């Protein structure tokens, strides 16, 4: 069994969630001794595992059909998480949905990150079997490390007692950057840092204005990798993720793996794997977010780091590779 992994425009998506998913898939297959290639011109494979939905992805899918190869289509995107993202995304969303349905129907089966995204796809009436499999997490990459935490605090010149709230993501309304800034404005005693690529986000006017003039206690360092971001994850007092729509949220898994206090917006994608007051905290509005951040920092509520880490552990890449193997084997029997 040999898998052809396909991600269109790898360099362009490297800083995104799909870019992380790409690395995770490779590692998951390696850990399970599943042979794979990323050579887009290769015909020596049994299953095309395709992860993107642009023109060259369409060409790859059509070519695989002509060669009578099996196709696993990985549904990272939905109309719902396309909306409220970049400029004109809402206008384009209905057309994007039609295109997604067309693309996903190339698959013999579909893989998607969560039971929630499976339900969304089922509402599109796509006549394919859909498997919910997490994008997974490399636990070793996010082990707590005092040296990396020191690098993070020195990079931002943070005082020893300075409390820090972080988030990681694109500058989208969907991601809740506006909420992040509104909450920060009400908590001037804390430092808020949003990590994310500014140039690639193509923000709406509202988000662009906030980026140009954020609250004084909000830092926007852009996209940062390596020890700084890893130290930020594990050293932050709160990972605050106010996203309004996701298919999973890999950065949440990264925060859980870093043994960080996690606060998310209470949205359907977390149903079934994140539980309020058990392995994370959830809020519905700014007032609740503000109260919960204060309570977490002041230790007025229980720490849930250990339970949160267990969520990440169950989604380690070894397990994800085992799940993918089962899907591949079932497809080859069809």
Quick one: pLDDT at residue 35? 98
**The residue count for the chain:** 334
The tokens describing 257, both together, are 């793996």
The tokens describing 149, both together, are 């935490």
Q: Is 11 exposed, middle or buried (CB count within 10 Å of its CB: 0-12, 13-18, 19+)?
A: exposed
- Structure confidence by residue, pLDDT tens digits, 37-62: 999 999 999 999 999 999 999 999 99
> Residue 98 and residue 55: Cα distance in Å, rounded?
14
Quick one: pLDDT at residue 76? 96
**Mean pLDDT score, 226-253:** 97
**Mean pLDDT score, 250-278:** 97
Quick one: pLDDT at residue 11? 79
Q: Is the pLDDT of residue 63 over 80?
A: yes
CB 296 within 8 A of CB 237: yes
pTM for this prediction = 0.95
Mean per-residue pLDDT of the chain = 96
**Mean pLDDT score, 14-31:** 91
Q: Is the pLDDT of residue 201 over 80?
A: no
Quick one: pLDDT at residue 14? 76
- Structure confidence by residue, pLDDT tens digits, 101-147: 999 999 999 999 999 999 999 999 999 999 999 999 999 999 999 99
Strands 2-6 and 47-50: parallel
Q: Is the pLDDT of residue 294 over 90?
A: yes
What lies within 8 Å, CB to CB, of 258 at 6+ separation is 142, 144, 230, 233, 234, 239
């Amino acid at each position: 069994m040999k898998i052809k992994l396909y991600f269109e425009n790898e360099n362009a998506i490297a800083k995104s969630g799909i870019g992380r998913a790409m690395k995770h898939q490779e590692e998951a297959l390696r850990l399970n001794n599943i042979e794979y290639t990323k050579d887009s011109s290769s015909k020596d494979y049994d299953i095309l595992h395709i992860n993107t939905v642009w023109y060259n992805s369409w060409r790859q899918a059509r070519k695989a059909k002509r060669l009578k190869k099996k196709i696993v289509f990985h549904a990272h995107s939905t109309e719902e998480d396309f909306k409220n993202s970049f400029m004109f995304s809402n206008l384009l969303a209905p057309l994007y949905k039609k295109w997604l349905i067309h693309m996903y129907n190339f698959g013999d089966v579909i893989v998607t990150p969560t039971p929630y995204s499976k339900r969304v796809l089922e509402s599109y009436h796509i006549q394919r079997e859909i498997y919910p499999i997490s994008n997974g997490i490399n636990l070793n990459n996010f082990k707590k490390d005092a040296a990396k935490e020191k690098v993070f605090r020195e990079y931002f010149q943070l005082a020893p007692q300075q409390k820090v709230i972080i988030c990681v993501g694109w500058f989208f309304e969907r991601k809740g950057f506006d909420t992040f800034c509104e909450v920060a404005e009400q908590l001037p005693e804390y430092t808020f840092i949003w990590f994310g690529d500014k140039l690639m986000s193509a923000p709406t006017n509202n988000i662009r204005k906030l980026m140009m003039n954020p609250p004084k206690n909000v830092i926007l360092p852009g996209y940062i990798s390596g020890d700084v971001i890893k130290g930020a994850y594990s050293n932050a007092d709160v990972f605050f993720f106010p996203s309004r729509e996701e298919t999973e949220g890999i950065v949440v898994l990264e925060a859980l793996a870093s043994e960080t206090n996690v606060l998310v917006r209470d949205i359907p994608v977390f149903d079934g794997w994140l539980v309020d007051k058990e392995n994370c905290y959830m809020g519905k509005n700014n007032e609740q977010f503000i109260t919960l951040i204060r309570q977490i920092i002041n230790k007025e509520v229980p720490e849930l780091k250990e339970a949160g880490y267990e969520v990440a552990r169950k989604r380690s890449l070894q397990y994800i590779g085992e799940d993918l193997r089962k899907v591949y084997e079932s497809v080859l029997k069809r």
